[in-house]
């Protein structure tokens, strides 16, 4: 078959969970079919080149720039649009023009990565379709509202700002839920990354394509760290749930942890594009920011434990599967581990309140036997269920079902 993949991010280099999932989709489809890739970007950056060993046909990039004008004007446009904010921020006209020229080619099917690309461009291509909803944005917003509701306000201005943000999130959550249901009702197949998301979205055409992780060249080995214990967090800091998680842990959990483990270091590994994104983290005692690193395996092998302090988000956390694959013990929030078939206390430790997260991390730092047990159980689970080679057949099956169901 000849397949067109339309995405809103390049899958290479695979330095984030979304890119890793998309790279797996493109690689799997490319090994069986003739695949072209069109990427719609919003950041104005040049396109990175695809890997030399990836067999692809045409690869193109088009920009969907942000709408000009003041923040108030953009907010007014969103309010009147009946669309979620992320669908209202950008001008998709150039992308629609570009895709219209690609659509003249004789494709057999389209794989849409993310709801935004389908909702803005899907009417231009009348072909069997898979839409990959690796996150349910309505759930991301629901979690964020709940997180903000639990947080303590710092004065009247903070309370007013939070009330406005929660009102906007409530509206956006409803809009996203309608949009996700519309996608489900229009296309042959919708792919999600967990049974939990399949239950939430409903529909006979919703299939699970789980996240997976490649086999590491050299797994970590839990050791008795005699130097400063390293609590590692891996995540793209341009993604709001990750930045919130890093800030939450650094400000509210790390000081408590360092009371029990005075030398503990919170090492945050992940790209950030602007200094303002990490200004809160700069200068906090015990926090190390690396930015993007060339070898993530080196960071994982040097870590005492991996922490996933996510308070809101969607899909499943590849960063947990990554730690499992390397044999690094994990402490996560409930939301962070959501959607994965894990058993707290067996595969990882789960805690949510700052004092509980700090106590769980301190417990792991001080208990080598527990670190080794969790690391071994996590790695067995990754090997049995979440290896990339186990996920690949479900990608192919989703595409084949879309074509078959289209008749």
CATH number (domain holding residue 54): 3.40.50.2000
Is 187 found in the same domain as 105?
A: yes
Tokens 């590491």 identify what position? Answer: 216
Is 248 found in the same domain as 189?
A: no
| Joined tokens for residue 52 | 């030399």
pLDDT at 122 over 60: yes
Candidate ranges 49-53, 225-229, 313-317, 385-389; pick with highest mean pLDDT: 385-389
Report if residue 66 sits inside a domain.
yes
Structurally, the chain folds into a number of domains equal to 2
Do 208 and 315 meet the contact criterion of CB atoms below 8 Å apart? no
Mean pLDDT of the chain: 93
Is 41 found in the same domain as 109?
A: yes
The pLDDT value given to residue 222: 64
Beta bridge partners of residue 189, listed in sequence order: 130
* Rounded percentage of the chain residues whose pLDDT exceeds 90: 75
Is 395 found in the same domain as 337?
A: no
**Nearest Cα to 221, choosing from 328, 331, 114?**
328
The pLDDT value given to residue 225: 56
Range of the domain at 37: 2-212+389-405
Is 260 found in the same domain as 199?
A: no
Is 266 found in the same domain as 204?
A: no
Least confidently predicted of 34-38, 139-143, 182-186, 218-222: 218-222
Is 236 found in the same domain as 206?
A: no
Report if residue 221 sits inside a domain.
no
Do 323 and 300 meet the contact criterion of CB atoms below 8 Å apart? yes
**Distance between CA atoms of residues 40 and 10, nearest Å:** 9
Is 288 found in the same domain as 346?
A: yes
Report if residue 10 sits inside a domain.
yes
Is 71 found in the same domain as 49?
A: yes
Task: Categorize the per-residue pLDDT at 224 as very low, low, confident or very high, splitting at 50, 70 and 90.
Answer: low
Is 244 found in the same domain as 136?
A: no
pTM of the full structure = 0.93
What are 258-315's pLDDT values in tens digits? 999 999 999 999 999 888 889 999 989 999 999 999 889 999 999 999 999 999 988 7
**Distance between CA atoms of residues 20 and 214, nearest Å:** 10
């Amino acid at each position: 078959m000849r397949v067109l993949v339309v995405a809103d991010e390049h899958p290479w280099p695979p330095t984030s969970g979304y890119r890793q999932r998309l790279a797996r989709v493109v690689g799997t489809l490319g090994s069986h079919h003739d695949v072209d890739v069109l990427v719609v970007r919003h950041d104005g950056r040049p396109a990175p080149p695809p890997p030399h060993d990836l067999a692809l046909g045409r690869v193109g990039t088009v920009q969907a720039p942000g709408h000009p004008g003041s923040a108030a004007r953009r907010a007014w446009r969103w309010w009147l649009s009946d669309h979620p904010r992320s669908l209202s921020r950008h001008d998709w006209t150039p992308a629609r023009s570009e895709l219209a020229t690609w659509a003249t080619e004789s494709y057999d099917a389209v794989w849409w990565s993310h709801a935004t690309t389908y909702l803005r461009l899907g009417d231009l291509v009348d072909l069997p379709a898979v839409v990959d909803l690796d996150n349910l944005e309505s759930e991301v917003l629901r979690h964020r509202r709940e997180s903000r509701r639990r947080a303590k306000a710092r004065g009247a201005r903070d309370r007013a700002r939070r009330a406005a943000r929660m009102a906007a999130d409530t509206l956006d959550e409803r809009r996203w839920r309608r949009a996700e249901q519309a996608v489900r009702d229009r296309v042959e197949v919708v792919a999600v990354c967990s049974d939990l998301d399949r239950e939430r979205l409903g529909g006979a055409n919703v299939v699970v394509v789980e996240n997976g992780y490649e086999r590491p060249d050299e797994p970590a080995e839990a050791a008795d760290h005699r130097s400063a214990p390293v609590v590692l967090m891996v995540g793209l800091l341009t993604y709001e749930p990750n930045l919130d998680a890093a800030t939450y842990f650094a400000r509210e959990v790390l000081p408590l942890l360092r009371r029990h483990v005075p030398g503990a270091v919170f090492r945050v590994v992940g790209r950030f594009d602007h200094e303002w994104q990490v200004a809160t983290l700069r200068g906090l005692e015990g926090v190390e920011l690396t930015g993007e690193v060339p070898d993530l395996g080196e960071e994982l092998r040097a870590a005492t434990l991996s922490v996933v302090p996510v308070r809101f988000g969607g899909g499943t956390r590849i960063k947990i599967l990554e730690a499992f694959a390397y044999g690094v013990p994990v402490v996560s929030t409930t939301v962070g581990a959501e959607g994965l078939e894990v058993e707290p206390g067996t595969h990882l430790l789960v805690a949510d309140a700052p004092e509980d997260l700090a106590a769980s991390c301190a417990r792991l730092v001080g208990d080598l036997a527990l670190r080794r047990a969790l690391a071994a159980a996590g790695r067995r689970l990754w090997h049995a269920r979440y290896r990339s080679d186990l996920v690949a057949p479900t990608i192919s099956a989703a595409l084949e079902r879309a074509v078959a169901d289209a008749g």
